[in-house]
Structure 1
Amino acid sequence: MKIFSVANMKGGVGKTTTAVQLAQGLGKKGKTLLLDADQELQCAVAWRTSEDPSWTFDVARYGEDAPRRMKGYDYVVIDSKGNEQGHDLVSLARASHLLIVPTRPEGVSATGLANTLSPLVEAGVKNFKVLVVVNEGGRGEELREHLAENKIPAFVSMVRKSTAVGDAAEQHIPLEASSNRYAKTVALEYQSVLREALAYGG
């Protein structure tokens, strides 16, 4: 079983969208469970509430019974609670094959990213990668170059900004099932992210 965790200390950075789309892609490769650790909002659970036949994965709330729930699955995606402390992130990374840290390429989110990465770097954690989401203009490329200069691992793939993501969540369907061509484009970009995540050999 491979565990992919999605986390960032800051909210509003595409964490749940990333978790849902990764789980959707992994569900085509093996039995997949998405665990939603956000006890208050439960956004991933809410998105996946429909019985649309295009869904490929199971979803459950993260709790003390998580180890039992995970049994029998090939892949598990954990959508973190979103306001973790540094030690939470380190523990999450150490329990995962790969910790994915989504971020928006803008000022406030960039500051939040620095706060998120600091405890991981200080603890010597290596199995994490930053994912640039909600990209527009050349900001994503600039951030990715900045990360590379500072030897911070990042995905080559990036995900563009699109209101179609919110529309798909409201309709309780995966992006690929939307009739909106922009939603399908974002879904393809997440497929590229997934290929990189699966190729990670840390």
Structure 2
Amino acid sequence: MEIFSIANMKGGVGKTTTAIQMAQGLGKKGKTLLLDADQELQCAVAWRSSDNPAWSFDVARYDEDAAKRMKGYEYVVIDSKGNEQGHDLVSLARASALLIVPTRPEGVSATGLANTLSPLVDAGIQNFRVLVVVNEGGRGEELREHLAESGIPVFTSMVRKSTAVGDAAEQRIPLEAYTQNRYARTVALEYQSVMREALSYVR
């Protein structure tokens, strides 16, 4: 079983969208479970709550029975609770094959990213990678290059900005099944690229 955790100290950086799309991609490769650790909002559980046949994975709340729930699954994706402390991130990384840290290429998110990465770097954690999402106007490329030059592990793949994400979540369907927005499939394909790249880092 391979565990992929999605986390960032800052909210609003595409954490749940990344978790949903990672699970959707992995679900086509093997039996996959998404665990939603956000006890208050449960956004991942809500998005996956429909019985749309395009869904490829199971979802459950992360609780004291999480370890039991994972049994029998080839892949597990954990959508973290959000607002983690440094020690939480380190523990999450150590329990995962890969910790994915999504971030938006904008000032506030970039500043928050530094706070998120510091505990990981200080603890010598190496199995994490930053994923630039909601890319627009070349800012994502600039941030990715800056991180790489600073020695921070970063995904080559990026995900563009699109209103299709919010619309698909509202309708509780996978991005690939949302046909009203022509960019939905493109964003879904970009997340597929992220998923394939993530797998390459743990194999």
TM superposition score normalised by structure 2: 0.99
Gapped regions of structure 1 (runs ≥ 5): none
Letter in 2 for 1:87: H
Matched residue type, 2:104? R
* 2:158–2:190 Cα contact (<8 Å) kept: yes
Amino acid at match of 1:55: W
| Residue of structure 2 in register with 1:164 after alignment | 164
1:189 corresponds in structure 2 to: 190
- Over aligned residue pairs, what C-alpha RMSD do you find? 0.7
In the other structure, the counterpart of 1:141 is 141
Q: What SS is found at the alignment partner of 1:148? A: helix
Please list, as runs of the form range in 1=range in 2, the aligned pairs for 1:37-186 lying within 5 A after superposition.
37-179=37-179, 180-186=181-187
Aligned-pair identity (%): 85
State the SS of the aligned residue for 2:154.
Answer: coil
1:132, distance to aligned residue in structure 2 (A): 0.1
| Counterparts of 1:129 and 1:182, CA distance in 2 | 25
**Is contact 2:9-2:112 (8 Å) kept?**
yes
Separation in 1, partners of 2:202, 2:78: 19
Give the letter for the 1:86 counterpart: G
- 1:58 maps to a residue whose letter is D
CA distance in 1, matches of 2:175, 2:168: 6
For 1:101, what is the secondary structure of its paired residue? strand
CA contact (8 A) 2:98 2:202 kept: no
Distance 2:124 2:160 in 1: 31
Write the letter of the residue equivalent to 1:83. N
Query: For residues 148 and 200 of structure 1, what CA distance do their matches in structure 2 show?
Result: 16
Cα deviation for residue 160 of structure 1 reads 0.3
SS at structure 2 position matched to 1:136: coil
Inter-partner Cα distance in structure 2 for 1:65 and 1:81: 16
Following TM superposition, the consecutive aligned residue runs of length 4 or more in structure 1 with deviations greater than 4 angstroms are: none
Distance in 1 of aligned mates of 2:138 and 2:117:
23
TM-score by length of 1: 0.99
Cα deviation, residue 201, structure 1 = 3.3
